[in-house]
Structure 1
Amino acid sequence: MSLKVGKTVEGVVKGITNFGAFVELPGGETGLVHISEVADTYVKDIRKFISEEEHVKVKVLSIDGDKIGLSLKRVRENKEKHVSFEDKMAKFLRESDERQRDLRKNTEGKRGSRDTKAFN
């Protein structure tokens, strides 16, 4: 299969690292979805968005020799143009709740770490 920049193709996630995910494309080529191209929100753990062996649609961003740059979020952007306001609001609230939960969990862990004997 001939890949072209701007084309959307389906592939299979073959590996996940801290900086991105490797996707096997039709024809046996492998491309990288950088962590910044996984979602529109801040991505701390890619595994919350995709998993190995998952079939995904990706957009080809660049082809530089044997390096292929891919994006998941740009495929989703095209789909989200047709999403209703209520669906967008529900997604925002869900992501906001997740962020608040993470913040509370991190803050609570730090509060209990001080030595209380110094204050008694």
Structure 2
Amino acid sequence: MSSELLVGNVMEGQVTAIKEYGAFVSLSGGRSGLVHISQIASEYVKQVEDYLVVGDKVTVKIIDISDAGKISLSIKQVAPLGRRDGTIPEPRNERKPLSKPATPALGRPERKPRNHDAGKEKMNSLEEKLKKWMKSSEERMQDLGSKQKRK
């Protein structure tokens, strides 16, 4: 493993700090880099602490070095980590059904199941409103026309 800090190099490091967005890893030469939470494991990582603790030795790959000298690292591109407790997280694309519907207290109205017949009723209602509006509009136009003739 190379000790040179170049994009693509794989090296050993030690976790020095954990934040909600990732883990800082100390590298050779006194430099350190960040392993973003999305670069820790192949599956969805909710909490960094489920996979890493301060003091862990890790193998990382340098995936970017910014113009400002910030080093971005990846663990999952070398050897994705498993959870510390050995459990397997839920797959990312499968979602649990909500245990309870959204409440109006949150400012969101409760949704009613769709009824395809209701769409027809709404359309009829819309057509009726449109007919009333057209009739009213025509009456107003006639009134305006008769007022113009009187002048």
TM-score by length of 2: 0.52
Pairing partner for 2:54 from 34, 52, 55: 52
Counterpart in 2 of 1:74? 77
Unaligned runs of 5+ in 2: 81-86, 101-151
Q: What percentage of aligned pairs have identical amino acids? A: 40
1:38 aligns with 2:40: yes
Unaligned runs of 5+ in 1: 78-93, 111-120
Q: How far does residue 2 in structure 1 lie from its aligned partner after superposition?
A: 2.6
Provide runs of 4+ in structure 1 moved above 3 Å. none
Return the index of the structure with the highest Cα Rg: 2
Where relative contact order (Cα < 8 A, 6+ residues apart) is larger, the structure is: 1
Q: Write 1 or 2 for the structure with the bigger share of strand.
A: 1
Q: Write 1 or 2 for the structure with the bigger share of helix.
A: 1
Give the paired residue count. Answer: 88
Q: How far does residue 68 in structure 1 lie from its aligned partner after superposition?
A: 0.2
Pairing partner for 1:21 from 23, 33, 37: 23
SS at match of 2:79: helix
SS at match of 1:36: helix
CA RMSD of aligned residues (A): 2.4
- Code of the residue aligned with 2:70 in structure 1: it is K
